[in-house]
Amino acid sequence: MRGTEKSAPAASAPKKKKSGLLGLRGKMFVLFFLIPITLIIAASLLYIWQLNTLSSGLAKGSTETIIKMTEEVVADRAREVASQCKVYLITHPDLKKAFFNYDLKFKRIVVQKIGVTGHTSLYETPGADGVWRTWAHLDPNVIGADMTALKESFGESFPAFWKICTGGKDGKELKESKGYYKWRDSKGTLRDTFLITVPVEGTPYVLSATAYPDEFTEPVKFMQEGAAMFALQTRNIVIGILGGTLILIGFIVAFYAYRLTAKIRYLTEITDRISVGDLDAEITGIKSRDEIGELANAIGRMQESIRLAIKRLRERK
- Tell me the per-residue pLDDT of 127-154, one tens digit each, with 9 for 90 and over: 888 899 999 999 999 999 999 988 888 8
For 119, the 3-state DSSP assignment is: strand
Q: Say whether pLDDT at 11 is over 50.
A: no
Closest CA to 178 of 32, 54, 39, 79: 79
190 vs 23, higher pLDDT: 190
Closest CA to 74 of 137, 123, 117: 117
Choose from 46-50, 84-88, 249-253, 307-311 the range with maximum mean pLDDT. Answer: 84-88
**Class of domain 57-220 (CATH, top level):** alpha beta
Rounded Cα–Cα distance for residues 203 and 125 (Å): 9
Rounded Cα–Cα distance for residues 146 and 126 (Å): 10
Q: Please give the DSSP secondary-structure letter assigned to residue 139.
A: -
- pTM score over 0.85: no
Segment 174-231, tens digit of pLDDT? 788 999 999 888 788 889 999 999 999 999 999 999 999 888 776 667 766 777 787 7
Helix axes 218-275, 35-91, angle to 10 degrees: 170
pLDDT of residue 120: 95
Q: What does R_g of the chain's alpha carbons equal in angstroms?
A: 45
Q: Say whether pLDDT at 171 is over 70.
A: no
pLDDT bin (cut points 50, 70, 90) of residue 29 is confident
pLDDT bin (cut points 50, 70, 90) of residue 173 is low
pLDDT bin (cut points 50, 70, 90) of residue 295 is confident
Q: Say whether pLDDT at 110 is over 70.
A: yes
pLDDT bin (cut points 50, 70, 90) of residue 9 is very low
What DSSP element (H or E) covers 54? Answer: helix 35-91
pLDDT of residue 60: 67
Return the percentage of the chain with pLDDT > 90, whole number.
Answer: 30
Rounded Cα–Cα distance for residues 44 and 59 (Å): 22
For residue 205, the cross-strand partners are: 124
